Amino acid sequence: MKCALLAMLLAAFGNAAVAAADEGLSFKGQWRQGAMLLGHAPQGTKIVFDGHDLALTPYGSFVIGLDRDEKSPATLQVTLPGQAQKTLSYAVAPGKWKVQRINGLPKSEVNPPQAVMARIHRESQEIRDVRAKSSDLIGFTQHFIWPVRGRISSVFGSQRILNGEPKQPHYGVDVAVPTGTPVKAAADGVVSLVAQNLYFTGGTLMIDHGHGVQSVYCHLSRIEVKDGEAVKQGQTVALSGQSGRATGPNLHWGVSWFDNHVDAMALTGSMPRN
Ligand SMILES: [Zn+2]
Q: What is the mean pLDDT of residues 200-218?
A: 98
186 pLDDT more than 60? yes
129 pLDDT more than 50? yes
Residue pLDDT, tens place only, 255-266: 999 999 999 999
Q: How confident is the model at residue 274 (pLDDT cuts 50, 70, 90)?
A: low
14 pLDDT more than 90? no
What is the distance in A from the centroid of ligand 1 to the CA of 171?
Answer: 7
Q: How confident is the model at residue 7 (pLDDT cuts 50, 70, 90)?
A: very low
What is the distance in A from the centroid of ligand 1 to the CA of 229?
Answer: 25
Give the C-alpha separation, 249 to 70, whole Å: 31
Q: Which residues surround ligand 1, an ion (CB under 5 A)?
A: 172, 174, 252
Residue pLDDT, tens place only, 16-63: 444 445 568 999 999 999 999 999 999 999 999 999 999 999 999 999
What is the distance in A from the centroid of ligand 1 to the CA of 252?
Answer: 4
What is the distance in A from the centroid of ligand 1 to the CA of 173?
Answer: 6
146 pLDDT more than 90? yes
Q: Within the chain, what is the greatest distance between any pair of CA atoms?
A: 71
Residue 112 burial by Cβ neighbours in a 10 Å radius (0-12, 13-18, 19+):
middle
Position 17 scores a pLDDT of: 46
What is the distance in A from the centroid of ligand 1 to the CA of 170?
Answer: 6
Q: What is the mean pLDDT of residues 135-153?
A: 97
9 pLDDT more than 50? no
| Cβ-proximal residues to 234 (8 Å cutoff; 6+ apart), any chain | 145, 184, 185
Residue 207 burial by Cβ neighbours in a 10 Å radius (0-12, 13-18, 19+):
buried
What is the distance in A from the centroid of ligand 1 to the CA of 255?
Answer: 12
Asked if residues 131 and 256 have their Cβ atoms less than 8 Å apart, the reply is yes
Position 12 scores a pLDDT of: 45
Cis-peptide, bond into residue 169, ω within 30° of zero: no
Position 126 scores a pLDDT of: 97
Position 21 scores a pLDDT of: 52
Higher-pLDDT residue of 273, 74: 74
What is the distance in A from the centroid of ligand 1 to the CA of 154?
Answer: 6
What is the distance in A from the centroid of ligand 1 to the CA of 180?
Answer: 17
Q: Give the DSSP per-residue string, 56-71.
A: --TTSEEEEE--TT--
Q: How confident is the model at residue 10 (pLDDT cuts 50, 70, 90)?
A: very low
What is the distance in A from the centroid of ligand 1 to the CA of 215?
Answer: 13
Q: What is the mean pLDDT of residues 128-134?
A: 96
Q: What is the mean pLDDT of residues 78-92?
A: 94
Q: What are phi and psi of 239, to 5 degrees?
A: -115, 140
What is the distance in A from the centroid of ligand 1 to the CA of 172?
Answer: 5
Give the C-alpha separation, 29 to 131, whole Å: 22
Give the C-alpha separation, 200 to 202, whole Å: 6
